Amino acid sequence: MARWFPRNTARAWDKISLLRRRRSSIIFLVILAVLLAPYIWPFLYNFGDWVRQTNPWSEQYAVQQHFVSTQDELDCLFGRTASPADAETELIPNNVHFIFGLSNPHEDPHVGTFNFISYLAVRSAIVGMRAENVFLHYTYLADPPAPEPNVNPFSNRWVHHLKDDITLVYHSPQEMDALKNEPGAHWQAAHVSDVLRLRLLREQGGIYLDIDAFGLRPFTDLLRSPRDIIMGHEGGNRGGLCNAIMVARKNSTFIDRWAAEYNNVDLSHEWNFHSVILPKQLQLQNPNDICALPPSTFFWPTWTWQHVQWMHEPLTRQQARQWAAEIDRNGGSLFGEQLAYHSWSQMAWDRFLSKLTPETVRTRDTRFNLLVRRFLQDDVGSAWQ
Q: Where are the domains of the chain?
A: 61-81+90-295, 305-375
d(Cα 208, Cα 220) in Å, to the nearest integer? 15
Residue 295 has pLDDT above 90, yes or no: yes
355-374 average pLDDT score: 98
Per the CB < 8 A criterion, the answer to whether 342 and 245 are in contact is yes
d(Cα 227, Cα 11) in Å, to the nearest integer? 88
Closest Cα partner for 212 from 22, 335, 60, 372? 372
DSSP symbols for 121-133: HHHHHHHTS--SE
* Helix (H) / strand (E) containing 204: helix 189-204
183-204 average pLDDT score: 92
Q: Which of 38-42, 145-149, 264-268, 298-302 has the lowest mean pLDDT?
A: 38-42
Q: What is the CA radius of gyration of the chain?
A: 26
Does the pTM of the predicted model rise above 0.75? yes
Per the CB < 8 A criterion, the answer to whether 95 and 135 are in contact is yes
356-369 average pLDDT score: 98
The per-residue pLDDT for 81 is 85
> Strand (E) positions, the chain?
95-100, 133-138, 167-170, 206-209, 213-215, 229-234, 240-248, 291-293, 340-342
d(Cα 213, Cα 299) in Å, to the nearest integer? 9
Asked if residue 314 has a cis previous peptide bond (ω within 30° of 0), the answer is: no
Residue 186 has pLDDT above 70, yes or no: yes
Closest Cα partner for 179 from 161, 169, 193? 193
Between 336 and 43, name the one with better pLDDT: 336
The per-residue pLDDT for 93 is 98
Cα separations in angstroms, 107 against 103, 140, 198, 304: 8, 11, 27, 31
Q: Which CATH number is associated with domain 61-81+90-295?
A: 3.90.550.20
The total of other beta-carbon atoms located within 10 Å of residue 169's CB is: 13
The per-residue pLDDT for 1 is 44
Residue 12 has pLDDT above 70, yes or no: no
Residue 41 has pLDDT above 60, yes or no: no
The per-residue pLDDT for 264 is 82
Residue 164 has pLDDT above 80, yes or no: yes
Partners of residue 170 on adjacent β-strands: 138
Residue 43 has pLDDT above 80, yes or no: no
Which tens digit of pLDDT belongs to each residue from 67-109? 999 999 999 999 988 765 556 689 999 999 999 999 999 999 9
